[in-house]
């Protein structure tokens, strides 16, 4: 295989666990996050997990909802962590065939900051990499992943190949990911499909984050909002462009 680059020191990753379960109660989603997290840490990535429901994050689509009628809003402080991260992974459960309400709220708040700009005049999330992890006991993993990954790319994140992974148990009541079963084993831990996809996702996130960091992000031409009226606007009304 030749030399493989496995040194990702200086790369920062933040995982958002969008479970509906507050700490200190265990989260099935945390168990899946830990697979990806441990791979990253073994290769020099600095990681952090934020269990979103533990924080008083207001609902809304503005950067600071305290300016829009909310008494408390933890999001501005949490968003500083997003600004410093190279990799953002949104993880959460499936409920009623869809992402959890906490996942939806997180995406709305990320959207609230999507017009912020970096030092090159691009939207701030340019150069950041996004992925997702899904757990549940019902169908809908691909639907949930499509929702998350579309949202992330729409607000500027780069999505590498195979940037999602999931585990689904039997439909209806039954063990969730990581639950201890009667035979002493943990539900889902032996799933080659989940383990493979989580591993591929993690490495692809690291590879892409390093490529973008080493290349100083995405080239800043044709994608700077402030330059739209200063030379990059396509003159659709000019006949020579027809």
**Domains, in order of start, for the chain:** 12-241 (3.40.50.360)
Percent of the chain surpassing pLDDT 90: 74
- Residue 241 confidence (pLDDT): 45
Instruction: Classify strands 98-99 and 87-95 as parallel, antiparallel or unpaired.
Output: antiparallel
Q: pLDDT of 132-183, one tens digit each? A: 999 987 789 999 999 999 999 999 999 999 999 998 887 777 778 888 887 8
Q: Higher pLDDT residue, 58 or 188?
A: 58
| Over residues 212-240, mean pLDDT | 77
- Residue 230 confidence (pLDDT): 63
Mean pLDDT of the chain: 90
Q: Higher pLDDT residue, 1 or 120?
A: 120
Q: How many CA atoms lie within 13 A of 70 on its CB side?
A: 18
**Cβ-defined contacts of 23-30 (< 8 Å, 24+):** 23/51, 23/54, 26/178, 27/51, 28/93, 28/135, 28/176, 28/177, 28/178, 28/179, 29/91, 29/92, 29/93, 29/133, 29/135, 29/177, 30/178
| Over residues 90-113, mean pLDDT | 96
């Amino acid at each position: 295989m030749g030399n493989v680059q496995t040194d990702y020191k200086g790369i920062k990753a933040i995982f958002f666990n969008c479970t509906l379960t507050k700490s200190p109660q265990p989260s099935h989603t945390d168990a899946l996050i830990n697979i990806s997290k441990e791979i990253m840490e073994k290769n020099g990535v600095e990681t952090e997990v934020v269990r979103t429901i533990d924080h008083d994050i207001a609902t809304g689509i503005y950067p600071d909802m305290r300016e829009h009628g909310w008494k408390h809003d933890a999001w501005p402080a949490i968003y500083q962590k997003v600004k410093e991260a190279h990799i953002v992974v949104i993880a959460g459960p499936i409920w009623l065939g869809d992402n959890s309400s906490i996942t939806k709220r997180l995406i709305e708040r990320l959207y609230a900051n999507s017009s912020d700009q970096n030092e090159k005049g691009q939207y701030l999330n340019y150069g950041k990499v996004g992925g997702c992890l899904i757990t549940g006991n019902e169908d809908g993993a691909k639907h949930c992943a499509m929702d998350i990954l579309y949202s992330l790319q729409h607000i500027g994140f780069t999505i590498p190949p195979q940037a999602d992974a999931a585990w689904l148990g039997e439909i209806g009541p039954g063990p969730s990911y990581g639950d201890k079963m009667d035979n002493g084993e943990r539900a889902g831990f032996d799933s080659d499909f989940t383990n493979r996809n989580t591993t591929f996702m993690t490495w692809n996130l690291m590879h892409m984050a390093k490529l973008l960091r080493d290349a100083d992000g995405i080239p800043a031409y044709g994608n700077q909002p402030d330059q739209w009226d200063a030379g990059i606007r396509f003159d659709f009304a000019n006949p020579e462009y027809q």
